Chain A
């Protein structure tokens, strides 16, 4: 059914895997076991080396009407890269070269399979900075763009979309196109590049990206601010943003959740007071600048009810705080069935957290939450016991409905993938869904590229 010989002719024998035992890692992503789908039975994994090879694979796939699943590092949380129909997985792992760090234009040109870690290192070696940090450093550039990754640093610098200036894309029908370039302004025709960003691999396969870089910060500081209750912490966030200081990140954590993570890592959480914390990451052009920002933040927080402010300036101290924050998911993972990714207007965060409390009470469970408080995006964790009691689905729906009621959406950074399709109806009007289907048809008339993802 799948033309394995044809694929081998295109990429070479060594780069086609047909043995099921050897392809296990290509069949899944990071979606929690309770939510993940089953991979299809007949899958072939190919590892092309060039856009030209991908183009030929796409032509072959169109000829045979074989579904194709592009795959980055598999760090997605919504089964976006999972092959759920018999077909071809295209792994981008051989697109692993950073072609240029251009210090004059402050741009990096990288192939799609370059990992975030690789990118950060190359950029730092040139004494520059790629500001966003969407999390897992194993993630690949192509995937981060296709999924418009977010992360905690979006408050000051925005999500990945903001950095993308040029793309090379293989269209579903096999043509290789370039969009944009090392350009900061571009208004020629309809903006296909911005349509490609966040298209979750259904409109084309990104093979190369040009992204904007910034100078490195001369200083950073991390503040842990403690409050006696959550509402006070959340209400402080707009006051911070109005003050003129825009932190790189504003994260909200419950005291008991972060203690749990610290314990899990065998570390000690530095703040003992309060029930709710804001973590502020500040960056500036000089140490004086960072210091002035930290002073201002500490004043604003104290004026709004903070009972303790801890300022970490040493590298190690800051890294430890961040580690405890970013490993919350790992600590929780064995206990949870899934997490969601709702986003509401930033000032509605408090209301949303109240809604979560009510839902938790109604279902007699706990919903631990971490929040990118500066941008209204957050991740309530649903415990496994909800699945066992058969109410996980109900709880999830109630959370989504509450978010939509507050003017929010069901995903802020993880995307829709294959597991959130059924919830799209909670917020999408039929006409817009019709247009999205239409767009998919314009790009992919045979519907072979990552079918069953992002749109219904």
Chain B
């Protein structure tokens, strides 16, 4: 089907994997159990060392008509990087250098295969900060940008898009182009860079990124604020944001979910009052500022019905809280079919959660959820038993329909990948979809790059 020898000629013998047994981990990602897609039978994994080699692979792909699946850390949850057709998986793992931490311009230049963990370390050792934290630190920068990753810290500092200032990209047809640079303002022509961000690997392969950095902040301090009922908690969120304090993160969790998780982890959740919690993480210019902000948040929440406020300032105590919050889905990973990623206007989160509760009751199932309450993005968890009963699609569609009714979308941070294509037309009109297909054809006339992903 395709000429392995020619691939070897490009990257060297050692960097082409043809043995199925050696490539298992390149055929899967973190997609939830209930949605896993099967990799195609004939797959070759190649590991180019630089943009030039990526370019030659793409030229060969166009010449010999094989498809290419670019792959970062494989931390995606919607099968975006799974090779579902016979073809080549192009792993970016060897593009693993942080090229420059530029303190004067407050920018970092790194290759696409650098992991988030590596980046954070390089940046912190220069006493600077890359504010967003989309989760898994094994994620690679190319993937973070291609998926416009979000995470909990988006309330104050925004999603990854806000940090991307320059890209080097290999186009599907093989040209190496660079967009933007160490620039904070750039209005030259159409903004292809912002089109590449969140293109999920269908318009080009990102090989290098320039990201904006910030000085380290004082803090963080973490508050766990308890309420007797959900709506009082959710209603406090706009009050906090209106007050002038913009926390780094505002997370909503149900207390029983945190207690289950703590038990699963063999520890205890530090708060015993209330049914609903807001976890608020605050940063500032100095310790006094952080302290003032904590006080202000606590006051506002109390005025809005909070029954208890825990302020954690020590590193350990904060880490403990965040650990339980982030391991939440591990509690029932084995029973989980999939995690949804709907986003609604922030003030509609309470409504949306009520809808989910009602559906859970109606379908006699459990739908635990956590919410990035500050940005309206939240994650209802659908159980495997619901899928086994053949009902998960139906419930999912009802959740999506309500989200869209409230002015929301079906994916806020995970993306569409291959697992959400079927529902995409619930929030994208036919004309917009036609434009997206037109853009795809323009960039990739032979359809060789990451087919069947992100758009229909």
Is the Cβ of B407 less than 8 Å from the Cβ of A183?
Answer: yes
Is the Cβ of B190 less than 8 Å from the Cβ of A411?
Answer: no
| Residues A189 and B103 in contact in the complex (CB < 8 Å), given A199-B190, A217-B244, A293-B285 | no
Alpha-carbon distance A377/B182, docked complex (angstroms): 12
Is the Cβ of A292 less than 8 Å from the Cβ of B238?
Answer: no
Give the chain B neighbours of A413 by CB distance below 8 A. Answer: 185, 187
| Residues A343 and B189 in contact in the complex (CB < 8 Å), given A104-B238, A179-B432 | no
B455: interface (CB < 8 Å): yes
Alpha-carbon distance A345/B212, docked complex (angstroms): 11
Give the chain A neighbours of B192 by CB distance below 8 A. Answer: 432, 435-436
Alpha-carbon distance A245/B195, docked complex (angstroms): 31
Instruction: List which B406-448 residues lie within 8 A (CB) of chain A.
Output: 407-416, 424, 427-429, 431-433, 435-436, 438-440, 442-443
Give the chain A neighbours of B218 by CB distance below 8 A. Answer: 244
* Closest B residue to A106 using CB positions: B241
Is the Cβ of B188 less than 8 Å from the Cβ of A410?
Answer: yes
Give the chain A neighbours of B341 by CB distance below 8 A. Answer: 187
Is the Cβ of A439 less than 8 Å from the Cβ of B439?
Answer: yes
Alpha-carbon distance A179/B374, docked complex (angstroms): 21
CB A303 to nearest CB in B, in angstroms, measures 16
CB B424 to nearest CB in A, in angstroms, measures 6
Is the Cβ of A192 less than 8 Å from the Cβ of B414?
Answer: no
| Residues A243 and B431 in contact in the complex (CB < 8 Å), given A105-B345, A183-B409, A377-B184 | no
Is the Cβ of A215 less than 8 Å from the Cβ of B429?
Answer: no
Residue of A188, A374, A376 ringed by the most chain B CB atoms within 10 A: A188
* Closest B residue to A129 using CB positions: B244
B245: interface (CB < 8 Å): yes
Alpha-carbon distance A455/B341, docked complex (angstroms): 37
Is the Cβ of B183 less than 8 Å from the Cβ of A189?
Answer: no
A330: interface (CB < 8 Å): no
Is the Cβ of A154 less than 8 Å from the Cβ of B413?
Answer: no
Alpha-carbon distance A375/B104, docked complex (angstroms): 12
* Closest A residue to B377 using CB positions: A185
| Residues A191 and B413 in contact in the complex (CB < 8 Å), given A198-B190, A345-B183, A432-B177 | no
Alpha-carbon distance A241/B104, docked complex (angstroms): 9
CB A93 to nearest CB in B, in angstroms, measures 24
Alpha-carbon distance A407/B286, docked complex (angstroms): 34
| Residues A187 and B191 in contact in the complex (CB < 8 Å), given A215-B244, A244-B218 | no
Is the Cβ of B438 less than 8 Å from the Cβ of A442?
Answer: yes
Interface of A is mostly: loop
Alpha-carbon distance A117/B147, docked complex (angstroms): 36
B231: interface (CB < 8 Å): no
Instruction: List which B248-286 residues lie within 8 A (CB) of chain A.
Output: 285-286
Give the chain B neighbours of A289 by CB distance below 8 A. Answer: 285, 289, 292
| Residues A242 and B171 in contact in the complex (CB < 8 Å), given A159-B185, A345-B182 | no
Is the Cβ of B203 less than 8 Å from the Cβ of A190?
Answer: yes
Is the Cβ of A188 less than 8 Å from the Cβ of B410?
Answer: yes
Give the chain A neighbours of B175 by CB distance below 8 A. Answer: 429, 431
Is the Cβ of A185 less than 8 Å from the Cβ of B191?
Answer: no
| Residues A427 and B188 in contact in the complex (CB < 8 Å), given A187-B416, A347-B102 | yes
The interface size bin for chain B is: 35 or more
A452: interface (CB < 8 Å): no
Give the chain A neighbours of B17 by CB distance below 8 A. Answer: none
Give the chain A neighbours of B314 by CB distance below 8 A. Answer: none
Alpha-carbon distance A155/B128, docked complex (angstroms): 17
Give the chain A neighbours of B427 by CB distance below 8 A. Answer: 188
Is the Cβ of B215 less than 8 Å from the Cβ of A242?
Answer: yes
Give the chain A neighbours of B190 by CB distance below 8 A. Answer: 195, 198-199, 202-203, 436, 439-440, 454-455
A186: interface (CB < 8 Å): yes
CB B252 to nearest CB in A, in angstroms, measures 14
A197: interface (CB < 8 Å): yes
Q: Which residue in A179, A414, A438 is a CB contact (below 8 Å) of B187?
A: A414
Give the chain A neighbours of B106 by CB distance below 8 A. Answer: 238, 241-242, 346
Alpha-carbon distance A185/B435, docked complex (angstroms): 21
Q: Which residue in A162, A187, A202, A215 is a CB contact (below 8 Å) of B158?
A: A162
| Residues A190 and B436 in contact in the complex (CB < 8 Å), given A175-B431, A345-B181 | yes
B242: interface (CB < 8 Å): yes
Alpha-carbon distance A286/B292, docked complex (angstroms): 10
A148: interface (CB < 8 Å): yes
| Residues A187 and B411 in contact in the complex (CB < 8 Å), given A162-B158, A192-B435 | yes
B59: interface (CB < 8 Å): no
Instruction: List which A170-215 residues lie within 8 A (CB) of chain B.
Output: 171, 175, 177-179, 181-192, 194-195, 197-199, 202-203, 214-215
| Residues A147 and B244 in contact in the complex (CB < 8 Å), given A185-B154, A187-B413 | no
Closest 4 CB pairs of A and B: A185-B412, A412-B185, A347-B104, A345-B182
25 A–B contacts, CB within 8 A, in A order: A102-B347, A106-B346, A155-B184, A182-B345, A183-B407, A184-B346, A184-B377, A186-B411, A187-B147, A187-B411, A189-B424, A191-B197, A202-B190, A215-B241, A218-B244, A242-B106, A244-B215, A244-B217, A286-B292, A288-B292, A292-B289, A407-B181, A436-B189, A438-B442, A442-B442
Beyond the given pairs A105-B346, A187-B411, A188-B411, 16 more chain A to chain B contacts, judged by CB atoms under 8 angstroms and listed by A's residue number, are A105-B347, A158-B162, A181-B408, A183-B343, A185-B372, A187-B147, A188-B428, A190-B195, A191-B195, A194-B195, A241-B215, A344-B183, A413-B185, A413-B187, A427-B188, A442-B439
